[in-house]
Amino acid sequence: MAKSKFEYVRDFEADDTCLPNCWIVVRLDGRNFHRFSEQHEFKKPNDDRALQLMTKCAQTVMQELEDIAIAYGQSDEYSFVFKKKSRWFKRRASKFMTHVVSQFASSYVFYWKDYFKDQQLLYPPGFDGRIVLYPSNQNIKDYLSWRQADCHINNLYNTVFWMLVQRSGLTPVQAQDRLQGTFAGDKNEILFSEFNINYNNEPLMYRKGTVLIWQKINEIITKKIKMPKEEEEKEVEVNRTRTKVVPLHCDIIGDQFWEEHPEILADSS
């Protein structure tokens, strides 16, 4: 009844199908995470708990959603790359974006206590997302390289900045002034000469971010089986192969990673 009279409003919904045969990237960022990290006392410049929680959420997204070939994360952002040939939800952009960010956001709260223990979560955080298409394999590799180069630049800066604040007692404004106009080499030099830190020995997770890929895992698991004509169950060892999301902290700008993992960009749907 009333239904028919109002149903015309459905026609106002626009089609937002993604162009076929393109890589679909959804990148997610924390909303106001500067404030969020202060209120939850994140360690500076890198908080392992926060980075590992981000990765846990990204793993959940990859497992719960379809067709994600690779993900890359650093700081409060994560990029998810859907396969070129994906037909998930008819490639509707809004579906890709909203499923990624909602699954990530609910996971963030759900798994918070596993990483932050006694540190209470004070309020539910927000995330924003965007979607971008990349036609060629070179384009998608360059996209991921762009994010990893960004990670490097930011982390080097943050590492020096927080050393100057935490160890040399500079105010944030003084530290910022000190670093104004410096190049990578200058920052490495400050770290080494003033703080005896070799930047290249800093943890890979900080310097390279986190890459999530699918890997085949061979497991030996123990199953209880009831044999015919026997009364009790018997324990047997079983070989099992499954596919699992694995975090890596390696360079993805050079060719080596892509040569070692040709399946990521392979064209299968």
Choosing from 47, 49, 88, 132, the residue that interacts with a copy of itself (CB under 8 A) is 132
Rank residues 130 and 223 by Cβ distance to a copy of itself and give the closer one: 130
Rank residues 139 and 182 by Cβ distance to a copy of itself and give the closer one: 139
Contact stretch for a copy of itself (CB under 8 A) within 13-21, 42-50, 186-194, 215-223: 13-21
Rank residues 158 and 165 by Cβ distance to a copy of itself and give the closer one: 158
Half-sphere exposure of 105 (CA within 13 A, CB side): 17
Choosing from 41, 110, 167, 219, the residue that interacts with a copy of itself (CB under 8 A) is 110
DSSP code string of 153-183: HHHHHHHHHHHHHHTS---HHHHHHHHTT--
Give the contacts of 143 (CB within 8 A, at least 6 positions apart). 23, 25, 79, 132, 134
Choosing from 49, 204, 253, 258, the residue that interacts with a copy of itself (CB under 8 A) is 253
Residue 256 is a binding residue for a copy of itself (CB under 8 A): no
Q: Hey, is 187 helix, strand or coil?
A: helix
Taking CA 151 as the corner, what is the angle to CA 147 and CA 156, rounded to the nearest 5 degrees? 155
Residue 73 is a binding residue for a copy of itself (CB under 8 A): no
Which 193-252 positions form the footprint of a copy of itself (CB under 8 A)? none
Q: 62-90 burial, b for 16+ CB within 10 Å, e for fewer?
A: beebebbbbbbbbbbbbbbbbbbebebbe
Interface positions with a copy of itself (CB under 8 A): 1-3, 5-15, 17, 19-22, 28, 31, 60, 64, 93-95, 97-99, 101-111, 121, 123-136, 139, 142-143, 145-146, 149-150, 152-153, 184, 253
